[in-house]
Amino acid sequence: MDEILEIVKIGDDVLREKCTPVKEFDSAFKMLTSAMLDELLEADGVGLAAPQVGIPQRFFVVDIRDGKKYVFANPEIIETSIEEGPYEEGCLSIPGVYHEVIRPLKVKVQARDENGKLFNLSADGLLARVIQHEYDHLEGKLFVDRLDKEEKEKVLKAYEKRQKRGGRRK
- Residues in contact with Ni ion by CB under 5 A are 91
Q: What is the nearest approach in angstroms of Ni ion to the Cβ of residue 27?
A: 27
Establish whether 76 is a catalytic residue.
Answer: no
- Picking from 48, 16, 24, the residue whose alpha carbon sits closest to that of residue 35 is 48
What b/e readout covers 73-110, taking b as 16+ CB neighbours within 10 angstroms?
A: bbbeeeebeeeeeebebebbbbbebebebebbbbbbbe
116 vs 152, beta carbon nearer Ni ion: 152
How many angstroms separate the CA atoms of 135 and 101, rounded? 15
25 vs 32, beta carbon nearer Ni ion: 32
List 134, 150, 153, 160, catalytic entry: 134
**Nearest-CB residue to Ni ion?**
91
How many angstroms separate the CA atoms of 147 and 92, rounded? 17
On the CB side of 107, how many CA atoms lie within 13 Å of its CA? 21
Using a 10 angstrom Cβ sphere, with 0-12 exposed, 13-18 middle and 19 or more buried, the burial of residue 30 is middle
52 vs 74, beta carbon nearer Ni ion: 52
Q: What is the nearest approach in angstroms of Ni ion to the Cβ of residue 82?
A: 25
Neighbours of 151 (CB within 10 A): 13
Q: What is the nearest approach in angstroms of Ni ion to the Cβ of residue 117?
A: 25
32 vs 91, beta carbon nearer Ni ion: 91
Q: What is the nearest approach in angstroms of Ni ion to the Cβ of residue 1?
A: 26
Give catalytic residues, as residue numbers. Answer: 134
